[in-house]
């Protein structure tokens, strides 16, 4: 018996990933993350994607602030998008996105690497 796996927000995540590929195809490799971020924001605006950029949220323990999170993008209040530059997905970056998902009580995060071999992405799902 096959197990059916449902993707979280498939239409929206495919749209976002398509936009990211377009940004990479137009810009190419070798820029700092902040320039990719600016280009992505322009592409989101041009395609009507509703998003917030550099979303800040406190991290608290027992009612006291112990730090702050800064999301690269929050898309339609559903998907966290974290962008990086580099050829590999680092464990600390995956854990960073998972921490964001827990903090914001969201189900899906996209970790995107702009690499010398093209755009690579990883879907990170919060099952809780």
Domain boundaries, the chain: 10-125
CA–CA separation, 107 and 128 (whole Å): 8
56-107 pLDDT, tens digit per residue, is 888 888 989 898 889 999 999 999 999 999 889 999 999 999 999 998 999 9
Tokens of 37: 């971020």
Q: Which CATH architecture has domain 10-125?
A: 3-Layer(aba) Sandwich (3.40)
| Interhelix angle 33-47/10-27, nearest 10 degrees | 120
- Tell me the pairing of strands 79-85 and 108-115: parallel
Reported pTM: 0.90
Phi, psi of 28 (to 5 degrees): 85, -170
């Amino acid at each position: 018996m096959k197990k059916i796996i449902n993707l979280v927000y498939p239409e929206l995540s495919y749209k976002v990933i398509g936009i990211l590929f377009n940004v990479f195809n137009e810009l190419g490799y070798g820029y700092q993350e902040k320039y990719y971020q600016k280009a992505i924001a322009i592409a989101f605006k041009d395609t009507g994607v509703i998003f917030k950029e550099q979303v800040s949220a406190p991290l608290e323990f027992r009612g006291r602030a112990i730090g702050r999170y800064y999301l690269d993008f929050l898309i339609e209040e559903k998907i966290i998008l974290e962008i990086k530059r580099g050829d590999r997905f680092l464990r600390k970056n995956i854990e960073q996105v998972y921490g964001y998902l827990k903090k914001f009580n969201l189900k899906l995060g996209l970790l995107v690497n702009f690499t010398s071999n093209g755009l690579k992405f990883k879907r990170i799902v919060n099952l809780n």
